[in-house]
């Protein structure tokens, strides 16, 4: 990200939101509804809860599975694994992705590794320690039951992937190798150099294609979901657009699974693929699915710094580099223009090692990101100026190259270092790399219960598209763990409890709810094409990203968030008056695709700011300037905010409704995090 994305680049004219004060809410921007409870979460010892739920969930006999159809939107690790597993079980599966192949799902971009509590290093790891590290890393804003289940099934994931042929790194003796990631003091991260996501996705893809060949899975590539069909209060299908022909299609089923990823591209510049969007989950939200903790986004500390205004995305450098690379900036601002190799050791500030001696460079992502911002704000950033600022810190492999050979470094990180050199033109074996935080992942998502079912019966949500496992901050290497856990082991064991109530009444496309859903998609497409304004879709997206990064990024304040809401409302109003969408509806039209996605981002952006505004505490990577300790660390307020904020759609002209799900900790003590 870049600090050239400032308020000075944002058009200030926008209608002010109505702010009549309402009891218990902030500035009257929302209303408060009834509390929400996860009724599916088992009770009793945490070690036995998942087994208990699996046993209590109803079964579907093999003959009845053949009569049931499940739609799965998304073919990343969560969606691909779920489609393969449900197809293998004998259900009829319809799998959708907007890419030309399931192998292009954004899971392929993950680099550094996948966590699992195998304790191969005999360094004190365990299921409970992985559970504890994840709850603590999420700053005590995640559910205990969900996180323990995730830790519990993590070991099974590795066995599954090895059986599929995933080429994990191995030690000399042939055993699987592990490395450390931020926020932990053990080595539990399995990896395939810097290509872990790609290798895991190939494994899931092979399992998926096996079921396509077997006839249990029907694949719809280059299709984008534009609406969920809800009949008699239950999810019964989707409306999708064939992105090649432009045809609007109706697809009906007995249940729908959304595994469509996160919404980090609301910031315009992020490490996400350009096509990553929020449309599938946002359409479901507008139909009644609660959206939980939308302001919880992750800023990744090790990304290649922005180079200028021409960029449309940023590039991730795996957090695994922090195992052997040391992070520093000059102690004196006057040295920032020097060649880093000319700055003597005594004039370098290894600030993470100085501030957090216990964890050093392996502090969690939110802390590493915020401290990088702090030293750059002090004027000690490095690299070329973009605007008036230098936004970069050094990630230096000099010590590692002295301790290991260049060949050994290349064996662990070679493809990452090669990628850095191709992008920047600098050789990281000779000159320290430059990194800076960027938007990477979203912890918020659709609210789900323990069964991964949303507040719409029959609509299940897995992977990054749901909110359930990471709290206010995700530990590195846990995204791949959650995606595969949900797809291979959790969803197949919970969705059967719902499907056992079927087969459900047969639906016809002439059903009133189905016709209404399709008509709403047609009307929206025609509206976007008919505006014929003067501004491109990308210009609106970029301006929204500027607002979000400036006011709802690493640091937030009440004043800034109120301003952001004003600006977003004005920008959204202009979008629907002045956007220019080229082409027609009945053909390949990427301008139309982007317009629909940006329209949803404009609505989501406002909800994110309202969510951030109402949560008057600092937790995880969400730093409220008004809530910090004496030494500038994040300050939580557990007496007021130990809950999940589940937002209900308030209608096109209404205000969102906040439902609170209290977080109760029985097995982990809630306390201020310390990595010092």
d(CA 490, CA 488): 6
- Helix, coil or strand: residue 230: strand
The candidate with the shortest Cα–Cα distance to 475, out of 365, 553, 367, is 365
Active site residue 577: no
Angle between helices 590-614 and 279-286 (to 10 degrees): 60
Contact between 558 and 626 under an 8 Å Cβ cutoff? The reply is: yes
- Cα angle 369-374-375, degrees, rounded to a multiple of 5: 105
Q: How far apart are CA 11 and CA 500, in angstroms?
A: 54
> The tokens 């090895």 sit on which residue?
162
Contacts of 339 by beta carbon, 8 Å cutoff, 6+ apart: 431
Cis peptide preceding 503, ω within 30 of 0: yes
How many CB atoms are located within 10 Å of the residue 505 CB?
Answer: 11
User: Please, what is the Cα angle at 453 between 451 and 456, to 5 degrees?
Assistant: 155
Both tokens assigned to 246: 């432009």
Burial class (CB in 10 A: 0-12, 13-18, 19+), 158: buried
Q: Nearest-CA neighbor of 327 among 260, 283, 376?
A: 376
Distance CA 491, CA 497 (A): 10
Helix (H) or strand (E) holding 203: helix 196-214
Total residue count of the chain as it appears in this document:
676
Q: Provide the β-strand partners of residue 643.
A: 662
Instruction: Produce one character per residue of 305-319: b if its CB has 16 or more CB atoms within 10 Å, e if not.
Output: bbeeeeeeebebbbb
Question: Of the candidates 101, 93, 58, which has an alpha carbon nearest to the alpha carbon of residue 76?
Answer: 101
What's the burial of 508, exposed, middle or buried (CB within 10 Å: 0-12/13-18/19+)?
exposed
Distance, CA of 663 to CA of 641 (rounded, Å): 9
| Other CB atoms within 10 A of residue 533 CB | 14
> Which one is catalytic: 103, 179, 365, 572?
365
The whole-angstrom separation of Cα 332 and Cα 410 is: 32
Are 357 and 348 a contacting pair, CB within 8 Å? no
Element (H, E) at 45: none
Query: Which of these, 172, 111, 107, 621, lies nearest to 321 by C-alpha position?
Result: 111
Q: How far apart are CA 491 and CA 151, in angstroms?
A: 15
Cα separation of 95 and 83, whole Å? 7
- Comparing C-alpha atoms, which of 313, 147, 301 is closest to residue 666? 147
Residues noted as catalytic: 365
């Amino acid at each position: 990200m870049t600090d050239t994305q400032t308020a000075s680049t944002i058009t200030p004219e926008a209608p002010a939101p109505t702010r009549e004060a309402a009891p218990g809410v902030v500035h009257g921007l929302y209303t408060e509804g009834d509390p929400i409870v996860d009724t599916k979460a088992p009770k009793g010892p945490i070690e036995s809860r998942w087994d208990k739920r699996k046993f209590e969930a109803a079964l579907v006999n093999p003959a009845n599975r053949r009569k049931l159809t499940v739609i799965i939107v998304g073919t990343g690790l969560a969606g691909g694994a779920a489609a393969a597993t449900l197809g293998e079980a004998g259900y009829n599966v319809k799998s959708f992705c907007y890419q030309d192949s399931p192998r292009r799902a954004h899971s392929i971009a993950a680099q550094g590794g996948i966590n699992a509590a195998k304790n191969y290093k005999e360094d004190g790891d365990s299921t409970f320690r992985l559970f504890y590290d994840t709850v603590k890393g999420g700053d005590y804003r995640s559910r205990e039951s969900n996180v323990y289940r995730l830790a519990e099934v993590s070991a099974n994931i590795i066995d599954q992937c090895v059986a599929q042929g995933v080429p994990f790194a191995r030690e000399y003796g042939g055993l699987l190798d592990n490395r450390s990631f931020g926020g932990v003091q053990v080595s539990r991260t399995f990896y395939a150099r810097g290509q872990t996501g790609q290798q895991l996705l190939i494994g899931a893809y092979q399992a998926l294609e096996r079921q396509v060949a077997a006839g249990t899975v029907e694949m719809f590539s280059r299709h984008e979901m534009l609406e969920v069909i809800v009949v008699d209060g239950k999810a019964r299908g989707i409306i999708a657009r064939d992105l090649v022909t432009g045809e609007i299609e109706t697809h009906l089923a007995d249940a729908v699974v959304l595994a469509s990823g996160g919404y980090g591209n609301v910031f315009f510049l992020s490490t996400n693929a350009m096509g990553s969007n929020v449309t599938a989950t946002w359409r479901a939200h507008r139909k009644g699915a609660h959206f939980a903790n939308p302001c919880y986004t992750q800023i990744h500390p090790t990304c290649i710094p922005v180079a200028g205004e021409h960029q449309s995305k940023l590039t991730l450098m795996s957090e695994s580099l922090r195992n052997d690379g040391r992070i520093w900036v000059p102690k004196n601002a006057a040295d920032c223009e020097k060649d880093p190799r000319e700055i003597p050791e005594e004039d370098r500030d290894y600030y993470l090692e100085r501030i957090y001696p216990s964890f050093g460079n392996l502090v969690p992502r939110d802390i590493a990101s915020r401290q990088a911002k702090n030293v750059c704000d002090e004027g000690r950033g490095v690299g070329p100026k973009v605007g008036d600022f230098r936004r970069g810190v050094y990630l230096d492999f000099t010590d590692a190259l002295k301790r290991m050979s260049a060949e050994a470094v290349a064996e662990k990180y070679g493809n990452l270092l090669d990628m850095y050199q191709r992008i920047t033109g600098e050789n990281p074996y000779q000159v320290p790399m430059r990194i800076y935080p960027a938007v990477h992942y979203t912890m918020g998502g659709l609210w789900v219960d323990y069964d991964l079912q949303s507040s719409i019966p029959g609509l299940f949500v897995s992977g990054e598209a749901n909110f359930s496992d990471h709290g206010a901050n995700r530990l590195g290497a846990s995204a791949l763990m959650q995606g595969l856990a949900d797809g291979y082991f959790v969803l197949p064991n919970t969705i059967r409890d719902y499907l056992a109530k079927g087969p459900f009444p047969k639906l016809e496309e002439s059903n009133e709810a189905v016709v209404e859903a399709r008509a709403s998609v047609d009307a929206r497409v025609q509206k976007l094409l008919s505006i014929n304004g003067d501004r491109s879709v990308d210009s609106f997206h970029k301006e929204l990203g500027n607002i979000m990064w400036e006011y709802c990024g690493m640091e937030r304040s009440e004043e800034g968030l109120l301003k952001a809401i004003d600006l977003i409302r004005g920008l959204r109003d202009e979008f629907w008056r002045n956007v220019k969408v080229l082409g027609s509806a009945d053909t390949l039209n990427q301008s139309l695709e982007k317009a629909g996605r940006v329209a949803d981002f404009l609505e989501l952006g406002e909800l994110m700011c309202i969510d951030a505004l109402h949560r008057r505490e600092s937790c995880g990577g969400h730093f409220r300037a008004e809530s910090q300790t004496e030494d500038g660390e994040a300050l939580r307020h557990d007496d007021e905010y130990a809950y999940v904020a589940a937002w209900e759609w308030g209608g096109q002209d209404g205000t969102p409704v906040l439902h609170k799900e209290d977080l109760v900790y029985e097995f982990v003590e809630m306390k201020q995090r310390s990595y010092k």
